[in-house]
Amino acid sequence: MDFKIQVATDAHLKYAKEICKTIELSAKLRGTGIAKRDTKYIKQKIKNGNAVIALLENTFVGFCYIEVWEHGKYVANSGLIVATDFRGYGLARKIKSLIFHHARNKFPTAKVFGITTSLPVMKINSSLGYQPVTFSELPQDDAFWKSCGSCPNFDILTRNNRKMCLCTGMLAPSKNKMEHDLTYLISDKKQS
């Protein structure tokens, strides 16, 4: 299938309602994890150039967006979703990879992080260099934690004073560290 994965533009605003329904349905089916979002919120992400969408011709198949916290000190790739009929094609990995690199380019000094209960998302994050971290290494801004409020596990988070939940926190290495590690690997292979 010829999927088109790209940074979302105003031309994709028409998919906002379907994106929200897909996120909500996935959360209900899994019983955990994805916080509910409304169409106004999703449209704002698209308008700000902070979203990636996947389409098959004119059919919505996947989505992910960038959250910015603590005045750009942290960014997260959130709301990764693939429509049920299109799972199994490797789209989540492709969408996540594009949004990760888009966030890195748009916010080069920010720490890129994620929180998730999804094992497939953890595997994708790991392949991009993310490492598990304690919640103390994530944004401490009240607005960040409030965004978890529509998650069915929010009571667990609040009971534990925002120190743990069912989600795993993950942090990507800095852009400079990734470039340094890549340079080291290349030079090490040349010496071998």
Instruction: Encode pLDDT of 54-86 as tens digits.
Output: 999 999 999 999 999 999 999 999 889 999 999
- What end-to-end distance do the CA atoms of the chain give, in Å? 41
Domain of residue 42, CATH code: 3.40.630.30
Sign of the CA dihedral running 83, 85, 88, 89: negative
How far from 31 is each of 28, 63, 139, 153, 165, CA to CA, in Å? 5, 20, 25, 9, 14
Pairing of the two strands 131-133 and 74-82:
unpaired
For residues 102 and 40, give the distance between their C-alpha atoms in angstroms, rounded to a whole number.
22
> What's the pLDDT tens digit per position in 145-154?
888 887 788 8
Please give the residue range of the domain that contains residue 49: 3-191
| pTM for this prediction | 0.83
Provide the number of structural domains found in the chain: 1
- Residue 161 main-chain phi, psi, to 5 deg: 50, 40
